[in-house]
Chains A and B, each alone.
Chain A
Amino acid sequence: MRLAEIDRGDSFGHRALIGFISMVSGMRLPDAARVAFYHREFLSGALGEWTHETMRGESPWSISERELMAAMVATWNECPFCIGAHRAIAIKGMPRELADTVLADYRAAPIPAGLKATLGFLETMTRTPENLTPADARAALEAGVTREALDDAIAVATLFAIITRYANALAFAIPTDAEFDKAATMLLKRGYR
């Protein structure tokens, strides 16, 4: 963590909360949660609320599918913290082998055509947005993805365009696999607010 005040908390209440959650969970509170507690008056919920609705609200995509999209965006943006964190949540609702096959090469993975075409759209959106064309959207829609589902996937990739960037820029500490698993259980239960 490159900014010390995020690490320790910016108020007595937040320091107490960081200490309390770390004690109860038996692990260091991940940096993503420390950022969520930090300088809240700046964006005042505009990022957290949107993330929570997008990742946990009603959607044609399952929670695991949305978390897998997040882990894919993290792969394209070379963000090891977010790959670990969101893969760990995705595999609570899908076979680990399938998630890892998708993360290694989604084009060759045995997943529904709609999800595959949507990941193709999200890859261009993430890596080379200047090359995104209506044909990319058509490919997803023609594979059976509804406009609502495409919009929800675009929101996931937008939010993780933000989260992966600040996780990398601030140099989030990388938890162990066991800690990612524990944090995944908490994030499934509590969400992103």
Chain B
Amino acid sequence: MATDHRARAAALRAKAGGGTGETEAALRQAILARAAGGPAVAAPCEALVADVADASWRVTDAEVAAVRTAAGSDKAAFEVVMTAAIGAALLRFDRAMEAADAPR
């Protein structure tokens, strides 16, 4: 049977923006939105989230280290990176499905 990609995407969005994390769910929701073109988040997350979303090859040791220090643990910094990546990806998923859904 074909995979229900919309359901999988919705489940991933729900986990990244809610679920169980060391960071606050509100911060992760703001990061999901930021990575999809929404308003900036607070420093030091902003620089890392913007680079992960727009040009991940530009991320630096210092950007990750600053978020690691501010967030207080590797797991919290990991959540910031993953959530930014997921936000940028789900923007693309939504755009792609919208383009595919348009009447022919």
B43 close to A (CB within 8 Å):
no
> What mask results when residues 1 to 19 of chain B are scored 1 for a CB within 8 Å of chain A, else 0?
1110100110110111001
Contacts A42-B19, A44-B15, A50-B8; is A169 near B88 (CB within 8 Å)? Answer: no
Alpha-carbon separation in the docked complex, A137 to B102 (Å) = 9
Interface size class of A (residues with CB under 8 A): 35 or more
Query: Within 8 Å of chain B (Cβ to Cβ): is A6?
Result: yes
0 or 1 for each of A126-151: is its CB under 8 Å from B? (1 = yes) = 10011011101110010000011011
A residues less than 8 Å from B69 (CB atoms): none
- The distance in angstroms between the C-alpha atoms of A148 and B97, with both chains bound, is 11
Decide yes or no whether B30 CB sits under 8 A from chain A. no
Q: How far is the CA of A155 from the CA of B89 in the complex (A)?
A: 10
Total A-B contacts with CB atoms under 8 angstroms apart: 166
Segment touching B, from A16-24, A51-59, A180-188: A51-59
Tell me which residues from 57 to 81 in chain B have a Cβ below 8 Å from any Cβ of chain A.
57, 59, 61, 64-65, 68, 73-75, 77-79, 81
CA of A74 to CA of B10 in the docked complex: distance in angstroms? 24
Q: For A157, what are the chain B residues with a Cβ–Cβ distance below 8 Å?
A: 92, 96
Which 7 pairs of residues, A with B, have the shortest CB-CB distance?
A: A134-B102, A161-B89, A165-B85, A168-B56, A5-B74, A50-B8, A78-B57
Residues of A within 8 A of B (CB): 2-6, 10, 38-39, 41-44, 46-47, 49-50, 53-54, 57-59, 77-79, 121, 125-126, 129-130, 132-134, 136-138, 141, 147-148, 150-152, 154-155, 157-159, 161-171
15 A-B pairs besides A165-B56, A169-B64 with CB distance below 8 A are: A2-B64, A10-B74, A38-B78, A46-B16, A129-B91, A132-B98, A132-B99, A137-B102, A141-B104, A154-B96, A154-B97, A155-B93, A158-B92, A161-B88, A170-B81
